[in-house]
Amino acid sequence: MAKASIYTSQFTVFFFLSYSLSIFLVTGKESHDQFTRTMDMKLLGIKKEKLSHFKIYWHDIITGPSPSGIQIVPPPQKTSRTAFGLVRMIDNPLTMGPELSSKMVGRAQGFYAQASQEEIGLLMAMNFAFTEGRYNGSTITVLGRNRVFSEVREMPVIGGSGLFRFARGYVEARTQKLDVNTGDATVEYNVYVLHY
């Protein structure tokens, strides 16, 4: 009888410890997962997704008294003909027309880097920061590969802010004007962006 009582007591203690441990593990897991939650999109005022198209002109001005693009990392001394390794920071005007004198609608802010040893291929990382109309203060973020001498280059839109929160899409870049001596360029950007 005493032996049965000891086994019962040991079983009770084992059961209690196992149960307590399982409660602790489950409770611990739940507390670590509480940094995220599923939300109803309506709580953020998000309605139906729409597709917008923007046609803007990007002006990369490297020469003159007030350049919009400056070299921040030069290519190594013994580099390829592509200037592989060069990095240039930009704050380029975005205009409605191909002339720099046309109405400015924003700035392209970011950088591009010579990322190819075989051709002029850039890594582009920039925000189109709009300053005009209802999009004033909103941005579209572009990150991608730009093969400069291709007729049309496609790069992804990876996000945005303001009216472009949750944005995704792509841009098509077409060079309108390029001065091969100075590097100054005007590029037409067609932006196709899905946003709310």
Task: Say yes or no to pLDDT of 40 above 80.
Answer: no
- What is the predicted pLDDT for the residue at 4? 56
Strands 121-130 and 104-114, sheet pairing = antiparallel
Kindly report the pTM of this predicted structure. Answer: 0.78
- What is the predicted pLDDT for the residue at 94? 98
Q: What would the mean pLDDT of 24-29 be, rounded to a whole number?
A: 49
Q: What would the mean pLDDT of 161-178 be, rounded to a whole number?
A: 96
- What is the predicted pLDDT for the residue at 14? 56
Among 16-25, 104-113, 143-152, the minimum mean pLDDT is found in 16-25
